Amino acid sequence: MPSKGSVKKSAAGKEVVEETAASTKKKVSTSKKAGKKQLEELATAEVQTELLPAKDEDPNDEPSYEELGEETAQIIVDDQSSEDLDLADMEDAFFGPEDSPPQDERLGRARDLVQEGQIGNAIELYRDILADSPRNVKARNNLGVLYDELGHPELALEQFEAAEGIDPQNIEVLTNYGSALAVLARYGEAEQLLLRALAVEPDSVVARASVGILNFRRGAYVAAELELRWVCEQDRESARAFYYHGETLNRLGRFDEALVALERATVLEPKNSRAFYTLGHLYDRKHMIEEATLMYRQAQELQRK
């Protein structure tokens, strides 16, 4: 879900995190990169008292890439979070305003902060809301989405687990919780939660996309392709679904179809370096050297940012 990308830390960035780890109230800039740095400060403070035990991630979960040399190999990304999602995709994982009472005007402000790229400030605000109202399912869900998006799946699981305990029939929570477990290769638990979500709403596009991605991670490519094809037909704007559908088709050897799906994914999410890399591989297979080189270069440039 979680539904609804991660940045390499430079040496200078690490120094900033170390210097500011004691303060979780530092004002962040409006850039997403700055928001990620502040999240590290917040997560460091939480880990000492709240972090769930870390789970080992199966390195075979995600699409693997052939090495094309020393520099190209650096574009492989660590997908412990939903890094194929940009802020627009994250809207699917967030509650809408009508989903869960009681209302709190701070929830609207937190969503605005996310849209402005002030992720660290949004996290602080959600935590303030939960300090006042620990049973606020909407705040817990949305905080979990942010943690997951920014590469802290254990912190995300803590929020989703608490939200599910409060509202066990909430489809957004079930889908996000299941998706976070799938990233950590806890496939059986993830499947149970996603099936519960589909029992509540059988035609949920977001839940079925998560089922398709779960099947992809498990290596059940035929089942994944069926689900993801349906999702792409229903929602032509889902970058997440088109990306994983393209990767699934690639694994099935349906290269021309994979090319079409991944091209659509890059239009919907131009910052997805993995989609560009796989496109380069597919163009290589077709002996389209210029196009392949362009795709590899684009992937490398995105990874440097």
Per the CB < 8 A criterion, the answer to whether 158 and 52 are in contact is yes
Residues 230 and 108 in one domain: no
Domain contains 65 = no
**Pair (266, 164) in one structural domain:** no
Residue whose pair of structure tokens reads 């705040």 in the numeric block: 139
Whether 215 is covered by a domain: the verdict is: no
Whether 21 and 156 share a structural domain: yes
Q: Do 158 and 98 belong to one domain?
A: yes
Domain that holds residue 151: 7-52+88-171
Query: Which of these, 229, 205, 207, 225, lies nearest to 215 by C-alpha position?
Result: 225
Cα of first residue to Cα of last residue in the chain, in angstroms, is 24
Q: 127 and 36 in one domain?
A: yes
Q: Are residues 146 and 226 in the same domain?
A: no
Residue 139 is assigned to a structural domain of this protein: yes
Pair 233, 305 in one domain: yes
Which of left, alpha, beta for 133 (phi over 0: left; psi -120 to 50: alpha)?
beta
Considering only the C-alpha atoms of the chain, give the largest distance between any 2 of them, rounded to a whole number of Å: 60
Q: Are residues 19 and 124 in the same domain?
A: yes
**Residue 209 falls inside a structural domain:** no
**Pair 150, 37 in one domain:** yes
Q: Pick from 155, 171, 187: which residue ends a domain? A: 171
Closest among 78, 47, 27, 89 to 184, alpha carbons compared: 78
How many domains, the chain?
A: 2
Mean pLDDT by 10 residues, the chain (305 residues): 42 40 40 48 39 34 40 29 42 50 79 94 96 96 95 95 97 97 96 98 97 98 98 98 99 98 98 98 97 97 91
| 156 in the same domain as 280 | no
46-60 burial string, b = 16+ CB within 10 Å, else e? Answer: beeeeeeeeeebeee
- The CATH number given to whatever domain includes residue 270 is 1.25.40.10
Report pLDDT for 20: 39
* Size of the chain in residues: 305
Give the pLDDT score at 70. 31
Handedness of CA 288, 294, 300, 305 (dihedral sign): negative
**Which pLDDT score, from 0 to 100, does residue 91 have?**
54
Domain identity same for 161 and 287: no
> 227, 209 in Cβ contact below 8 A?
yes
Tell me if 189 is assigned to some domain: no
- Angle between helix 137-149 and helix 119-132 axes, rounded to 10 deg: 150
What is the rounded distance in angstroms from the CA atom of residue 143 to the CA atom of residue 122?
Answer: 8
What is the predicted pLDDT for the residue at 74? 26
pTM of the entire structure? 0.68
pLDDT at 305: 78
Would residue 237 count as lying in a domain? yes
Whole-number pLDDT of residue 93: 60
